[in-house]
Amino acid sequence: MNLNATLFAQLVVFLILAWFTMKFVWPPIMKALDERAGKIADGLAAADKAKTDLAHAEKKASDELRKARESAAEFRSGAERQVAQLIEEARAEGVRIVNAAREAAEAEAGVASQRAKEALREHVAVLAVAGAERILRKEINAQAHAELLTQLKSEL
Amino acid sequence: MAAEHAPNASEYIVHHLTHLNSLGHKQAALVDWTVFHLDSLFWSVTLGLLAVLILSRAAAKATSGVPGRFQAAVEILIEMVESQSKSIVHGDRTFIAPLALTVFVWIFFMNAMDLLPVDLLPNIWAWMFGMAGHDSSHAYMRVVPTADLNATLGMSLGVLLLCIYYSIKIKGLGGWIHELFTAPFGSHPLLYPINFAMQMIEFVAKTVSHGMRLFGNMYAGELIFMLIALMGAAWAGTFGSGLLWLGGVFAGTIWAIFHILIITLQAFIFMMLTLVYIGQAHETH
């Protein structure tokens, strides 16, 4: 436990080491620490911003969705109305066509039966005349009795 | 160790407490400014270089991105020192905070030499000394620089010089001298001598207690390790000596574990007092 010059040597070493630390150790580490603190602060701010942005976007998305749903519903009801109308029109058209067809068919059938009747009349008249001609070969003159025959035909 | 006979307990301890100095034998005078303790100087400089090397490696690789474990450990240390110095010293800390860091790490390393087995390095040194053709019983080696009063007082004297430097820097030379004579009792010609005497006592007491506290703790710790080593060395084949040996293992374990706390605590206390004293230099009375 003696005092000697070691004391001053230690003092000098002490100051040199402290100087070295001040010069080469402290500043880079403090710089890194400060930079990291800055980065973390930036990161937190960015996260906050992202959170509010996300809330905004979600709100906007749900608005859009609601709007889309509303317009879709509108479209659908419009389309249903239109379809109902189209069906109604088509039904009316169909009824109309069927009626027209039926009328046309009836008319055609009437004409055809008329024509058949007339043809029948001709035949009957011709047959009657032919029969009468055979029976009354001598007395009946086709030309002289044409008026009589026509009258007969119209009575058939 | 002498080859011819095993040293007795007192010789063992005296041998262990003798410094390797520039004289080659034990310093006779209590104070002799021509002598150096070569062992204290070697170990304190080596450990100081190791400390700043480790710290500067961390500093060189420091990134503001995700830190590795080593960098994170150094950062924890630096944050601790930075927050302590910020709360104690109000002023420019560009030198003071790194100083506190150096003090803490360096003293921790020097104290930690206490945890090596007490005979390990001295025996290696004695072997080297003997190989070099000297008498190995005169191979002295103390490996804990902080158990050398010169080392601890050297550092506390450094702190004193820094206190004076910062006092003059903050208050101006005139302001500081004015304070030396007017504080703590007040400005009155009759009180000037008393104030000055009080200030001197304060400086001396601060510096001596600062150095002595660390020295005393480490010296006592080292001594207890030696006593425990003596317990272990008592083994001679008998039941009683066997118990002593067991006691040595037990006490050595307990004391070493306790010493982990002491070396850290003493390094921390030295750092805190350094900050407190320099912080006081920043404040006007």
pLDDT exceeds cutoff 70 at B285: no
What does the pLDDT read at residue A142? Answer: 67
Residue listed under structure tokens 């749903």: A69
| B239 interfaces chain A, CB cutoff of 8 Å | no
What does the pLDDT read at residue B3? Answer: 44
What does the pLDDT read at residue A140? Answer: 61
pTM passes above 0.90: no
Q: Convert A112-130 to b/e letters by CB count within 10 Å (16 or more is b).
A: eeeeeeeeeeeeebeeebe
Q: How confident is the model at residue B33 (pLDDT cuts 50, 70, 90)?
A: confident
H-assigned helices in chain B:
9-16, 38-60, 69-88, 96-112, 120-131, 149-182, 192-233, 239-281
A18–B97: do the CB atoms touch at under 8 Å?
Answer: no
pLDDT mean over B31-52 = 91
Q: What residues in A contact B50, CB-CB < 8 Å?
A: none
pLDDT exceeds cutoff 70 at B18: yes
Q: What residues in B contact A22, CB-CB < 8 Å?
A: 94-95, 98-99
B103–A32: do the CB atoms touch at under 8 Å?
Answer: no
| A39 interfaces chain B, CB cutoff of 8 Å | yes
Q: Amino acid identity of A105?
A: A
| Model pLDDT for residues B167-180, shown as the tens digit of each residue | 999 999 999 999 88
Kindly tell me the sign of the dihedral angle through the C-alpha atoms of A24, A30, A33, A34. Answer: negative
| Model pLDDT for residues B237-284, shown as the tens digit of each residue | 788 888 888 888 999 999 999 999 999 999 999 999 999 999 999 987
Residue listed under structure tokens 């920043």: B282
| Cβ neighbour number for residue B2 with a 10 Å cutoff | 13
DSSP secondary structure letter of residue B37: B
* CA pair distance A24, B51, nearest whole angstrom: 13
Instruction: Tell me how many residue pairs between chain A and chain B have CB atoms under 8 A apart.
Output: 145
Q: How confident is the model at residue B144 (pLDDT cuts 50, 70, 90)?
A: very high
pLDDT mean over A4-12 = 90
Active site residue B209: yes
pLDDT mean over A13-33 = 92
| Percent share of chain B, pLDDT over 90 | 56
- What's the gap in Å between the CA of A62 and the closest CA on chain B? 39
Active site residue B213: yes
What is the rounded end-to-end Cα distance, in angstroms, of chain A?
169
Instruction: Please tell me which of the candidates A13, A15, A30 has its beta carbon nearest to residue B44.
Output: A13
